[in-house]
Structure 1
């Protein structure tokens, strides 16, 4: 009898212990489940933190450091230099007259660094002043002696293709084009060569003014689905156009009625912002070189998302920005193309905007 009672008590203890273990396991499972449920939003929060960095020239979020130094490259826009290489990767492009009625491009790269950019052409004062305002490494191929002297004397950190001409590392002459339209920058080598000259290759740069999502959606203005810029009434082939694609919210660029594309891939050059600036131009020598006023401000068009706004432009710390009622007007996050045109004949005479 005592033996039977002992066995019964033993079974009761074992059963109770098992029940408590099952209850403990169930509680642990519930706690684990609760932790798992919290892990999803925590993960999203971490992902959001990972995108806390913003590329300063595009306003786009990134999980990268976004502190690689901006590279400003002089890109040839002569008819014999088209189609170019690397323009589709540029964060921002300034298009300005060089000599005659041919424009030249200063392309700024930071968020995306292409393998090759070119053809690369010679320097001008107003281009290197713009590049310096963005603390960019200024890359060009050749210049008049007095321009080179200005670059050196003003402490512009630069890489001159005349020094590295066809060295196979930084610059390469391509056989499929004739000089001076065949010098291509091997961009992968830029930072290494710059470091060798004692230049910094990382840099903190205060970003431009960008619109948030709600501001982008609420953009308004006159319709601007097609933009045409005539740099010379006497030379109808020097025409720049932009065509709006509502599906992508981007403008595709054309030059002399031909789409601007990448040389090797035919990828179209597209931008989110077109900023057209009117300012005084003056020919200063027999070679047709110009002085261009990038300080005084004046009339401008800001074209985004199929709309155009008449704005003013100002120079703030060397950077050319759009202004509305005295306050900076934000860019749509993305790429920007800035066309600087002469005040004679003027913006209204040189630019046609239509639906």
Structure 2
């Protein structure tokens, strides 16, 4: 069952406060869709025709929306985070394993930069491979010294409490009360002259292999956490989301990558080993779209390399739209689905 949201009045007051401050054979080939040409906008500037995090078309009046880098907000994903704010405005979300068998979200924003998002939590070593492909800046509460060193060595810029746009909601308990106004964060930085790379190999729904029927799916990260999805109304609904009512992520596709987990080399305050998701190499992939599932393989040469997907028949593309990526451990995790 979906977790009950907080009353609307509570959400509104909090927002105002913060603003003020199984499987079958899927080996059939897929064709590669050509990218639309760039278009001219006001002032003669060139605007890329699709968004890098969704593959969706860019309209001429959205040119100002590209005058900033990709922002990734690290969000808590436990009952203590309810209600999460801002997931409905994200272009893409990556769910990753953290200590204690729990998960944390990396919510990507580019085509639109909202106001308040959160609760904002700390980074992990896994985030280097997650955010590097699009040169994203990270919005975070901080990190362990070892993780900060890795993030800095990778050339990743991050913003935390004490910088413009951050505020605490005193109606919530710490550490689940830090929020960030992404519009304010974005106002302090500029994108530069390079468009972010496409995060996924975008394509068209008609290019997908047939796959098998899959109307429900459960991504089990550990014995303590499973994310449940159901295909309904043309999209995927997270049945155990912590998002505020009406602010859920609008998933068109759920992409599961089976990944290896290592040890980040330190313990959390409770004495749990902190895992590190390995995002270099290859593994099994499951693409859920349109109520069907296509099996494939993912590969990534370097931490900052784009993700490649394939089937036995050739390249696998992701239908343009909003994608939720599940980084499910190959050992200790599991993925099940039903027709």
TM-score normalised according to structure 1 size: 0.73
Match of 1:32 in 2: none
Q: CA deviation at 1:304?
A: 0.6
Q: Any unmatched runs of 5+ in structure 2?
A: 1-38, 42-46
Matched-pair contact (CA < 8 Å) for 1:229–1:241: yes
Match of 2:101 in 1: 101
Aligned length: 284
Q: Distance in 1 between matches of 2:86 and 2:159?
A: 18
Q: Distance in 2 between matches of 1:326 and 1:191?
A: 42
Matched-pair contact (CA < 8 Å) for 1:228–1:352: yes
Bigger relative contact order, structure 1 or 2 (CA pairs below 8 A, ≥6 apart): 2
Q: Any unmatched runs of 5+ in structure 1?
A: 1-47
Matched-pair contact (CA < 8 Å) for 1:119–1:183: yes
- C-alpha change, 1:333 and 1:186, in structure 2 (3 Å) is same
Which consecutive aligned stretches of 4+ in structure 1 deviate over 6 angstroms post-superposition?
48-52
- What SS class does the counterpart of residue 297 from structure 1 fall into? strand
Matched-pair contact (CA < 8 Å) for 2:86–2:247: no
Q: How does 1:60-75 map to 2 (within 5 A)?
A: 60-63=56-59, 64-65=62-63, 67-68=66-67, 69-75=69-75
Matched-pair contact (CA < 8 Å) for 1:72–1:106: yes
Matched-pair contact (CA < 8 Å) for 2:87–2:247: no
Match of 1:42 in 2: none
Q: Which of 278-287 and 139-148 deviates more? A: 278-287
2:197 to 196, 200, 206: 206
Match of 1:273 in 2: 253
TM-score normalised according to structure 2 size: 0.77
Q: Distance in 2 between matches of 1:273 and 1:96?
A: 17
Q: Distance in 1 between matches of 2:262 and 2:218?
A: 23
Q: Distance in 2 between matches of 1:95 and 1:104?
A: 6
Matched-pair contact (CA < 8 Å) for 2:78–2:242: no
Match of 2:328 in 1: 341
Q: Distance in 1 between matches of 2:136 and 2:48?
A: 23
Q: CA RMSD in A?
A: 2.3
CA deviation map 1:230-274 (0-9, x unaligned): 2223x3xx22111111x4x2101122xxx443x3x5333221111
- C-alpha change, 1:323 and 1:213, in structure 2 (3 Å) is closer
Match of 1:189 in 2: 184
Match of 1:315 in 2: 300
Bigger-Rg structure (1/2): 1
Matched-pair contact (CA < 8 Å) for 1:224–1:306: yes
